[in-house]
Amino acid sequence: MISPHARVCLFSPRAPYHAVVEPKERSKTCLIDSHGDGVTDDSPSILDAFESCNDGGRAVFRRNQTYIIGTAMDWTFLNHIDIDIQGKILFTNDTTYWQANSFKFGFQNVTSFFKLGGNDVWIYGGGTVDGNGQIWYDAHAKDIYTLRPVLFGIDGLHDSVISDLVLRYSPQYYHFVANSTNVVFNNIDIAGRSTSKHAAKNTDGWDTYRSDGVTIQNSVINNGDDCVAFKPNSTNILVQNLFCNGSHGISVGSLGQYAGTYDIVEDIWVGNISMHNASDGARIKVWPNTPSALSGDLQGGGGDGRVRNITYSDMVIDNVDYAIEIDQCYGQKNLTLCLQYPSPLTISDIVFEGFRGRTSKTYQPLIGALACSSDTACANIRAEGINVMSPNGTRDAYCLNMNGTSLDLTCTDNYKGFN
């Protein structure tokens, strides 16, 4: 049996905001067998193993076996357990069943195949978790209101580690981390492009929500939306050593989507990121104070809150549309209307430092855009050591209600669209 202590990864250049809790000893092993026919639902045997090995055991998905999951399972009862995924987990393509039975989180139409929670849960093994996403990409193209499950739906997970996994073809986000504390994600390999003309949309690598003390590190993400996104009430988050390709960047938000709510994102450190072929590098996105619609299934505006103490450090920019973006008009393409109804959400103590590379041609001569909703919404926004050029050799950034003296950029009022 692998010692839990041997599985703890090294943290560099930063340590997590909260120390990783030592796992309790595992004294029992539960081997999980699959039916092996690629059709029969293996959910009952998986659930039996989790129940048998809970409170001090290790449940093992055997190497070279494929496990079919066709039943939504609540795994929030887990405590002091290892889940060793050596084989492959594959979710069925029964979109009718999953839309009716997947777990709903009550935020941005998020649902999940399973709900993972508990204390001292270690998941590892080098195996693959496959969301069978192609049928979902095609279904969403026909009907944007299709409820696509996230691959890892996490709700109430504490003092736990998820490491050394291959994640493929999630229907929507790869991870949604809600109501959780002190969770580490390490060495996760994410990919899953569509093989049809219908893109794999909204396939964020990680979204954190109402969670504190999350660490995401040492991972490769090839996806079609945010590499990582800090949703409302994400605090003390560390993100480091990521390769992101094809994404929408590492994003704060979107925030202020729901009227009457107060969203908080603060104490975030993001560093040593390699960003390729993306719409953004570092991004903060906030809805305006008026109803707006980014799409039929994504709309909002009118919320309040604060973004504070966010650092983006040491980011390589390679064919990225905007290296840096602050957008308080998210979902609203009418800038006049957005400024007429400025977001009350404040953004303060933000640092972008040590960026290098080259943007795409999309917005040149701009390499960034920093737009605050009013002259009081933003304070202490700094950009230092920004060695990023557009293809034609410029370093311009669109600035609105922004103190340009603290920005290692050339501010201009040359607006080129958001969203």
Give the largest CA-CA distance in the chain.
65
Sequence-ordered list of residues with C-beta below 8 angstroms from that of 358, at least 6 positions apart, any chain: 317, 318, 319, 388, 389, 390, 391
Q: Are 73 and 41 in contact (CB under 8 A)?
A: no
**Tokens representing 261?**
């709510």
Spatial distance between the Cα atoms of 140 and 102, rounded to a whole number of angstroms? 16
**Tokens representing 384?**
């230092």
Spatial distance between the Cα atoms of 180 and 156, rounded to a whole number of angstroms? 5
- E strand intervals along 53-180: 57-61, 66-69, 73-85, 88-91, 103-104, 111-112, 114-124, 128-130, 149-150, 152-168, 175-178
Residue 202 per-residue DSSP state = S
Spatial distance between the Cα atoms of 207 and 195, rounded to a whole number of angstroms? 25
Residue 6 per-residue DSSP state = G
Buried b (16+ CB within 10 A) or exposed e, 311-328: bbbbbbbbbbbbbbbbbb
The DSSP bridge pattern shows strands 149-150 and 66-69 to be unpaired
Catalytic: 248? yes
Residue 406 per-residue DSSP state = G
Instruction: Please give the span between the terminal C-alpha atoms of the chain, in angstroms, as a whole number.
Output: 49
Spatial distance between the Cα atoms of 148 and 189, rounded to a whole number of angstroms? 21
Which of 140, 158, 175, 248 is an active site residue?
248
Question: What is the CB-side half-sphere exposure of residue 185 using CA atoms within 13 A?
Answer: 34
Spatial distance between the Cα atoms of 50 and 69, rounded to a whole number of angstroms? 14
Reference 278, options 328, 168, 204; nearest CA is 204
Which amino acids are annotated catalytic?
A: 248
